[in-house]
């Protein structure tokens, strides 16, 4: 048993991030300033988009994407039932009516055929989520959006490094929304980014992210002299600070190295966890890059004498932090009531909700730690096998 709890989604920050934050603090410019600008430029370059706008979260990015696109009350926005609540909350906050679609049982990604059946004359936008870093079927989704004139938004919170047929995640629709929350593939503590090639949308997002003050209003205290601003819309307070961007600039440089380490851990788990009552995550699809954000096996309930929640508890007792990504949105009482939805409409997301669990995949983990995670999981599962259904 290790002396320390293995924290789920532990970030890997090192001296570069720490000294940049200290430099920022000592520069006396800790708010939105030169480091945010630099981070935006680096991110846009990385993503091959014309614009990248740094925000204080991905949730803010999803919200502002909808508002910038003019989506609001009376409009419908389609998204997946198998995602984090923030995706759906952003739609609700825009005033639009969310419409949820079931996912595939094996990829956890939205089913485009089912998506098409939900399109009505009120549908204005689609938000896809590249689950765990596996790209959605973007050929089908892009052509659906084109055919029906829908705004496509990619929730890339899991999918910073993902690519599909040679194209980066976050470049398929009008907007890509990224998260730099602590557990994500790169972090700024809290933070997010919107990518777009559309200048008008980029300008709107910038204005809405800072109180609705006219463009460049945040430069008003610079050494170029005081500038008056006009409030052109009742905006929000969604801007990123230089303290956060200080981390982001260096996290971005380490993205590939961290990705390689997570792939290594992912492949190690694949080898170690075979022949157990688990359905392991699918390999990366051909001509795509998987971001390896989450390792999400499904517990084969019919072969074991414990539930997924009991498994989580057993892992916790072994000092292993595990997660659940996710209890589908339809499992939450508020959404059931507010949207009038129930489990029967989402059989695959329902199936996953009872069986999925996520084990640590942080690049911070040592070989000994991942060995320990796999060995512990194996031990727990082997002692819980149903005798009649022993797997070999």
Candidate ranges 153-161, 210-218, 221-229, 316-324; the one touching ligand PLP (CB under 6 A):
153-161
Q: Which two tokens stand for residue 300?
A: 């084969």
Of positions 155, 161, 242, 350, contacts ligand PLP by CB under 6 A: 155
Rounded Cα–Cα distance for residues 108 and 129 (Å): 9
Of positions 35, 134, 158, 318, contacts ligand PLP by CB under 6 A: 158
State the DSSP H helix or E strand holding residue 98, giving kind and residue range, or none if neither.
strand 97-101
| Closest-CA residue to 207 (of 93, 94, 64, 56) | 64
Q: Are 385 and 283 in contact (CB under 8 A)?
A: no
Minimum separation from the CB atom of position 127 to ligand PLP (A): 9
Question: Is the backbone of residue 128 left (phi > 0), alpha (psi -120 to 50) or beta?
Answer: beta
Total of residues contacting ligand PLP (CB under 6 A): 14
Binding mask 171-200 for ligand PLP (x = CB under 6 A): --------x-x----------x--------
Query: Which residue's CB is nearer to ligand PLP, number 138 or number 306?
Result: 138
Q: Which residue has the tokens 């996710």?
A: 326
By CB under 6 A, the residues from 32 to 91 that bind ligand PLP are 57-59, 83-84, 86-87
Give the Å distances, CA to CA, from 154 to 18, 116, 376. 31, 17, 36
Minimum separation from the CB atom of position 386 to ligand PLP (A): 34
Q: Which residue has the tokens 């051909």?
A: 286
Number of neighbouring beta carbons within 10 Å of residue 266:
22
Q: Please say if 124 is a catalytic residue.
A: no
Catalytic residue among 47, 50, 147, 184: 184
Q: Are 74 and 125 in contact (CB under 8 A)?
A: no
Q: Which residue has the tokens 């926005």?
A: 77
Query: Which residue's CB is nearer to ligand PLP, number 81 or number 155?
Result: 155
Query: Which residue's CB is nearer to ligand PLP, number 171 or number 376?
Result: 171
Query: Which residue's CB is nearer to ligand PLP, number 218 or number 238?
Result: 238
Where in the sequence numbering do the catalytic residues fall?
A: 184
Under the rule (CB under 6 A), what is the footprint of ligand PLP?
Answer: 57-59, 83-84, 86-87, 129, 155, 157-158, 179, 181, 192
């Amino acid at each position: 048993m290790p002396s320390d709890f293995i924290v789920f989604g532990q970030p890997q920050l090192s001296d570069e991030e720490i000294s940049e934050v200290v430099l920022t603090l000592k520069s006396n410019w800790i708010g939105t300033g030169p480091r945010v600008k630099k981070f935006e430029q680096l991110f846009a370059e990385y993503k091959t988009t014309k614009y990248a706008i740094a925000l204080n979260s991905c949730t803010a990015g999803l919200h502002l994407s909808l508002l910038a696109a003019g989506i609001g009350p009376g409009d419908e926005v389609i998204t997946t039932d198998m995602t984090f609540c923030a995706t759906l909350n952003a739609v609700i906050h825009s005033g639009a009516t969310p419409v949820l679609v079931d996912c595939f049982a094996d990829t956890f990604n939205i089913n485009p055929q089912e998506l098409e059946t939900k399109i009505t004359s009120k549908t204005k936008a689609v938000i896809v989520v590249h689950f765990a870093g596996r790209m959605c079927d973007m050929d089908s989704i892009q052509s659906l959006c084109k055919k029906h004139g829908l705004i496509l938004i990619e929730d890339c919170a899991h999918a910073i490094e993902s690519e599909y047929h040679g194209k980066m995640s976050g470049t398929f629709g009008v907007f890509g929304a990224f998260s730099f929350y602590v557990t994500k593939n790169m972090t700024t503590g809290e933070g997010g980014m919107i990518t777009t090639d559309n200048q008008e949308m980029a300008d709107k997002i910038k204005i809405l992210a800072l109180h609705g003050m006219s463009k460049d209003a945040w430069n008003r205290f610079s050494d170029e002299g005081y500038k008056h601003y006009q409030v052109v819309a009742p905006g929000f307070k969604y801007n990123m600070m230089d303290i956060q961007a200080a981390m982001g600039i260096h996290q971005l440089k380490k993205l590939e190295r961290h990705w390689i380490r997570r792939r290594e851990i992912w492949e190690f788990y694949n080898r170690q966890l075979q022949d157990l009552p688990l359905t392991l995550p699918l390999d990366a699809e051909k001509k795509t890059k998987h971001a390896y954000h989450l390792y999400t096996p499904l517990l084969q309930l019919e072969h074991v004498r414990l539930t997924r929640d009991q498994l989580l508890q057993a892992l916790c007792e072994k000092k292993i932090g595990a997660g659940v990504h996710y209890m589908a949105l339809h499992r939450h009482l508020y959404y059931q009531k507010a949207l009038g939805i129930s489990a029967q409409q989402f059989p695959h997301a329902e199936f996953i909700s009872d069986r999925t669990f996520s084990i640590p995949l942080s690049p911070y983990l040592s070989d000994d730690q991942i060995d320990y995670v796999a060995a512990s999981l194996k031990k727990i599962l082997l002692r819980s096998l149903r005798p009649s259904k022993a797997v070999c």
